[in-house]
Structure 1
Amino acid sequence: MKTQTRTSGSDAATLGLGSVLVGSLPAALLTDESPDRYTVEAVFTRRPDRDEVVQILDNQTRDALTRAGYPTVEITVSDRRLEIANTNLEELRDGLATVLAERLAAISDSVRAGRDEAAARSHDAAATEHLRAAAVVELAGSVAFHRSGESATATTLPRLDADEQAQIEEWNDDGGDARTSS
């Protein structure tokens, strides 16, 4: 029995639970030998990332389950499945599924907000670094190497006559540098 049953929907960005793995349920369900409580495996709507898994398994999730009236329910993450132990399908249907969906959405929002803040900090740091680098270039450009008593214009190249200009153009065509000859 490998059938999956769709239990809820959500958008692709927000982590949620999409279905119960029917094949993982006890074979004796809805019989006289049916266990009262068991583990239900539910498939995530997408693979949770590391930060989400940490929050799913943290004390805040445990506290949320307890506050909602499910103190004995235990959850673990196994790849793309949430294993919900010490529960049953009726308990999930009657409210636990909603509690889990809300907690997963809150975790997604929290992780997304943290990443957005980090991206904004990175963007701000890059903009600040760009301004700093531009200021360094401007400051370096303000340095003039000339002897004391010389004016800054004395360090500029003298005006070239037609023969010198022709020679420079020839060197430029050959890859030479006009400043190194004479």
Structure 2
Amino acid sequence: MTTTVPLHAPDATSDDLHLLSILESGLPGQIGTPDEPATYTVPAVFSRQVTRDERARIEDPETARRLAEQSGAPTTGPALRLVVSDRRLLIENTSLDRLRDGLAAALAAMLRDLGGDLRAARDERAVAAEAREVEERRRSDATHAAVSTIRFE
């Protein structure tokens, strides 16, 4: 049986990428025992499929470095690493305590910022495409007007 633990109440009106829950069945069985590892991989479930651009930003080592820094993760030991696997985010070299103590909030903020950045870039591309279309209509109209003045009489 697969158990997930909700991370937050998602905004149902938003199609921005966010994390829904931790996949509890993907956690190491040693959690809560004397053999619990200091760090491990925590699988979290995305709200939807990740795009190529989102994946590139999420998996960029600089993103993990900033998140670790923002959340106060220790500077010793293996570095935090983020890996997208289908609709899951594998948060490597962390723990549930680190997520609870700030990393989960930092991840949520990073995904909100990522969504805003990608929306802004998409809007800029749309404005540029509209400007090219207007210019092409202007050019076409000017060409048509020039052609219509020519008579072969």
Question: Shorter chain as normaliser: what TM range?
Answer: 0.7 to 0.9
The letter of the residue matching 2:10 is S
Give unmatched runs, 5+ long, in structure 2: none
The 8 Å contact of residues 20 and 46 in structure 2, kept in 1 or not, is answered as: yes
5+ residue gaps in structure 1?
147-182
Q: Does 1:85 align with 2:95?
A: no
Alignment match, 1:4: 4
Correspondence for 2:117: 110
Q: Does 1:38 align with 2:45?
A: no
Match of 2:152 in 1: 145
Q: Which moved more, 1:96-105 or 1:3-12?
A: 3-12
2: distance between equivalents of 1:119 and 1:29?
Answer: 48
Q: What pairs up with 1:59-70 in 2 under 5 angstroms?
A: 59-68=61-70, 69-70=72-73
1:157 matched residue in structure 2: none
- Contact 1:9–1:17 under 8 Å retained in 2: no
Instruction: Classify the secondary structure of the residue corresponding to 1:26.
Output: coil
Equivalent in the alignment of 1:151: none
**CA shift in 2, pair 1:93/1:52, >3 Å:** same
Deviation string 1:20-66 (CA, Å, 9 cap, x unpaired) is: 00110111221222222211000111111000101111244133124
Higher relative contact order (CA 8 A, sep 6+): 2
Alignment deviations for residues 105-159 of structure 1 (CA, whole Å, 9 cap, x no partner): 111111111111111111110111011111111111111222xxxxxxxxxxxxx
Number of equivalences: 146
TM-score calculated relative to the size of structure 1: 0.75
Instruction: Among all aligned residue pairs of Structure 1 and Structure 2, give the percentage whose two residues are the same amino acid.
Output: 38
The aligned amino acid for 1:84 is I
Greater C-alpha radius of gyration: 1
Specify the SS of the correspondent of 1:23: helix
1:90 and 1:14 map into 2 onto residues whose CA distance is 26
| Counterpart residue identity of residue 129, structure 1 | E
- Counterpart among 135, 140, 144 of residue 128 in structure 1: 135
Q: Which of 94, 101, 104 is the matching residue for 1:97? A: 104
Partners of 1:103 and 1:134 in 2: CA distance: 46
Amino acid at match of 1:144: R
| Matches of 1:124 and 1:138, distance apart in 2 | 21
Q: Which amino acid aligns with 1:95?
A: G
